[in-house]
Amino acid sequence: MTDTPGIPPADAEARRAIPPVVAYPNDTLSEPDLTLYTRARASAEKVFETQAAPRDAATFRVPAGHFFRITSVEGPQVGDLNLWAADDLKERFFSGKTRALHGTHVTTGDRLWSSFPYLRPMATVVEDTLGWYGTDPHGGRVHDVIGTRCDPYTHRLLTGGEYHHCCHSNLSRALAAETGMPAREAEMYVHDVLNVFMCTGFTPDTGQYFMKASPVRPGDYLEFFAEIDLLGALSACPGGDCSAEHSSDAAACHPLLIEVFAPAPGALEGWEPARVNAYSRGHGL
Ligand SMILES: [Zn+2]
């Protein structure tokens, strides 16, 4: 018997009642050694800092084994983070697979994974001062890997207008300045982001992506351990705390501080940078 379009079958409720299974059980992933990282961090000294100005982006480099911290300063602000392997822009952060492996939002102990065919941890979250937030009554959580990045193409599609300071354009300009590429070439390497400090979820009725005012306050930070040599770019989203809108100059917008810390020599003894994925790339041929 086949289903009739639009009419629930007799066993509709039974089919809906089938319990879900986690698509990617992650208990076989190797665990980051947070104890080692914490000890190394205690020995670390700041070696670099920069700021992403409001409605703009900044780049930064983090050698493997160093730490980087993104801090809210001046006022509540969301940041859109891109990461590349420092010596190969083809290897970039893979938000979709990070979501599949860790869930819709990341916190301490979760890793940011790179694109195929590399698929290795690029960075591990080692500290999250918003870890207390959990899940709010609307289903909102912090630091998502579900949004893409605000961009001028979707803005054009939905409003017909031109706006040049969406995170996509900010990241493109910053990567262009870092590499010497034209912005139109650099934008081909800009990718879906980690939405640092952003509070998001899905509406229960329509399943639409929602955002709400970020709970971040000046002094809050998200800190990472670099598992490989990284080039990063961070955009201070034009949406500010993303309580109302993005892709415009309407929201109050604040800078974000980025700091890099180097551990003392020998503090990471026994640790090695993550290796690229071991799949043979045979693809059945
Ligand atoms: Zn944005």
Ligand 1: distance of its center to the CA of 166 in Å? 5
- The pLDDT tens digits for 113-133 are 999 999 999 999 999 999 999
Residues with Cβ within 8 Å of 136's Cβ and at least 6 positions away in sequence, in order, are 199
Ligand 1: distance of its center to the CA of 230 in Å? 22
pLDDT at 166: 96
pLDDT at 2: 67
How many helices (DSSP H) and strands (DSSP E) are in the chain? 6, 13
B/e letters for 25-37, b = 16+ CB within 10 Å, e = fewer, are eeeeeeebebebb
- The pLDDT tens digits for 46-77 are 999 999 999 999 999 999 999 999 999 999 99
Please state at what angle helix 152-159 crosses helix 167-179, rounded to 10 degrees: 150
pTM of the model: 0.95
Ligand 1: distance of its center to the CA of 149 in Å? 5
- DSSP single-letter state for residue 165: -
Question: Which residues have a beta carbon within 5 Å of ligand 1, which is an ion?
Answer: 80, 150, 167, 237
The one-letter amino acid at 44: A
What percentage of the chain reaches a pLDDT higher than 90?
91
Count of other CB atoms within 10 angstroms of residue 74: 14
Count of other CB atoms within 10 angstroms of residue 71: 22
Beta pairing class for 45-52 and 230-236: unpaired
- The pLDDT tens digits for 207-236 are 999 999 999 999 999 999 999 999 999 999
pLDDT at 26: 85
- Ordered by start, the domain boundaries in the chain are 50-62+71-105+132-220+230-254
- The pLDDT tens digits for 101-114 are 999 999 999 999 99
pLDDT at 248: 77
Radius of gyration of the chain (CA): 20
pLDDT at 1: 56
What percentage of the chain reaches a pLDDT higher than 70?
99
Spacing of C-alpha 29 from chain mean position: 19
Ligand 1: distance of its center to the CA of 257 in Å? 16
